[in-house]
């Protein structure tokens, strides 16, 4: 106890040097643990999202781009798939197709046009407000609400993908009718609208002001319609009935289609129908695509472990050298203690007590840091994955 008291008093007196040693030692212990925790959580998060999505239907091309766009709402833009493919799956009776349209964004967050089946499939529930009800409604993820400081009653405006777009695509103001409960997935970073709303943003559907009114007809001053007809930028109760779509809905686009088979047999049949490489569409299993991506990413994990170990050894050696030099500088002090009657064993106990105290303090700080990382790992990883996508 005497040795511990003297050791603590010495460390407190030389608090600046002791603090540096404690922090360096804490980092040596904390960094490998935190890195492993975040890496393992990232791997689980990536794989879980893929495993929760049985099948994915899209245009033939890069399976990774298709998966990232449909599951993580990334910036990848796979070729669109026609809605007739959705009807084909419905008609087969083998599963439930859920189209997703991810071509547009607002305030830096992806606008996801889909159907109500998506909310049931992902078990998404509003923490505030309600779900999608009419054309133009928007339901936002929890991260979107936090980042933008918006909630039910506020509005969002879609951003054009190209400032020089001459196709007549107008920004659409969308009222926020609900905020989803957090899920620590990409859904927290998304703005959900009905897929028809996404088509309105794309310019496939729109509403017009009345060109000829009853008063104009009565007065004989009816105007002729031309290209100057004003398109609405907001869908309201007064103009919603004027919104309409041009062309056949079978030809309207979706970025991808999530397919939920009825059973294992239906899963096998559906995959078999899209094996022909000459078809313009493909049916993939996102779990396999994500696992392949994870395997490639975490192939460098072993190298990272080696680098971390080397850095830890070097840092530990530096701390050891600092402690050794500190003891060398105290040689006269320790010699005086011996001359005053302190036994050499007591001196060793004093030095050991100082070292143990340093390590205990460093270990406590590292443990607290590791606990904080472990508790928030899922939320941080979800945010980083959404940010990276």
Lowest mean pLDDT among 47-61, 106-120, 308-322, 350-364: 308-322
Euclidean distance between CA atoms 373 and 379, whole angstroms = 10
- pLDDT tens digit string along 324-342? 777 776 667 666 666 666 6
Q: Return the closest-CA partner of residue 201 out of 229, 167, 176.
A: 167
142 or 35: whose pLDDT is higher? 142
- Percentage of residues of the chain with pLDDT beyond 70: 82
Q: Which of 69-73, 124-128, 153-157, 337-341 has the lowest mean pLDDT?
A: 337-341
pLDDT value, residue 335: 67
Q: Which class for 224: exposed (0-12), middle (13-18), buried (19 or more C-beta within 10 A)?
A: exposed
Mean pLDDT across the chain, nearest whole number? 82
Does the pLDDT value for residue 89 go beyond 50?
yes
CA nearest to 267, candidates 46, 47, 56:
56
Residue 227: per-residue pLDDT: 44
In the chain the first and final C-alpha atoms are separated, in Å, by: 56
Predicted local confidence at residue 184, as pLDDT: 84
The pTM of the full predicted model, rounded to 2 decimals, is 0.72
Neighbouring C-alpha atoms within 13 Å toward the C-beta of 243: 22
pLDDT at residue 219 above 60?
no
SS3 149: coil
User: Using CA of residue 160, residue 163, residue 164, residue 170, what is the dihedral sign?
Assistant: positive
Is residue 216 very low, low, confident or very high in pLDDT (cuts 50, 70, 90)? very low
**Angle between helices 84-92 and 264-272 in degrees, nearest 10:** 140
- In contact, 119 and 168? CB cutoff 8 Å: no
3-state secondary structure of 320: helix
């Amino acid at each position: 106890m005497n040795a511990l008291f003297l050791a603590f008093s010495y460390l407190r007196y030389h608090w600046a040097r002791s603090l540096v040693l404690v922090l360096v030692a804490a980092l040596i212990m904390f960094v490998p643990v935190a890195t492993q925790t975040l890496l393992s959580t990232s791997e689980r998060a990536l794989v879980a999202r893929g495993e929760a999505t049985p099948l994915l239907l899209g245009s033939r091309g890069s399976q990774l781009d298709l998966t990232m766009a449909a599951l993580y709402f990334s910036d990848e833009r796979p070729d669109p798939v026609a809605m007739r493919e959705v009807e084909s799956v419905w008609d087969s009776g083998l599963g439930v197709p859920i189209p997703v349209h991810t071509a547009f964004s607002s305030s830096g967050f992806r606008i996801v046009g889909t159907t109500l089946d998506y909310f049931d499939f992902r078990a998404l529930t509003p923490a505030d407000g309600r779900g999608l009800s009419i054309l133009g409604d928007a339901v936002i993820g929890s991260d979107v609400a936090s980042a933008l400081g918006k909630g039910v009653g506020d509005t969002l405006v879609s951003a054009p993908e190209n400032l020089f777009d001459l196709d007549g695509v107008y920004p659409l103001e969308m009222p926020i009718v609900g905020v989803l409960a957090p899920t620590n997935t990409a859904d927290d970073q998304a703005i959900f609208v009905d897929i028809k709303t996404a088509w309105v943003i794309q310019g496939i559907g729109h509403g017009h002001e009345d060109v000829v009114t009853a008063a104009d007809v009565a007065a004989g001053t009816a105007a002729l319609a031309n290209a100057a007809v004003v398109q609405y930028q907001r869908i309201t109760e007064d103009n919603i009935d004027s919104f309409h779509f041009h062309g056949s809905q079978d030809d309207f686009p979706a970025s991808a289609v999530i397919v939920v088979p009825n059973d294992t047999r239906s899963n096998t049949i559906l995959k078999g129908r899209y094996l022909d490489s000459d078809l313009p569409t493909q049916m993939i299993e996102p779990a396999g695509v994500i696992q392949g991506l994870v395997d490639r990413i975490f192939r460098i994990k072993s190298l990272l472990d080696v680098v971390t170990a080397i850095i830890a050894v070097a840092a530990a050696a530096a701390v050891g050298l600092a402690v050794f030099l500190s003891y060398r500088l105290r040689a006269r002090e320790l010699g005086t203690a011996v001359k005053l009657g302190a036994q050499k064993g007591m001196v060793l106990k004093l030095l050991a007590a100082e070292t143990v105290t340093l390590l205990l303090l460093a270990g406590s700080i590292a443990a607290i840091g590791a606990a904080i990382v472990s508790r928030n790992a899922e939320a941080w990883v979800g945010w980083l994955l959404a940010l990276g996508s």
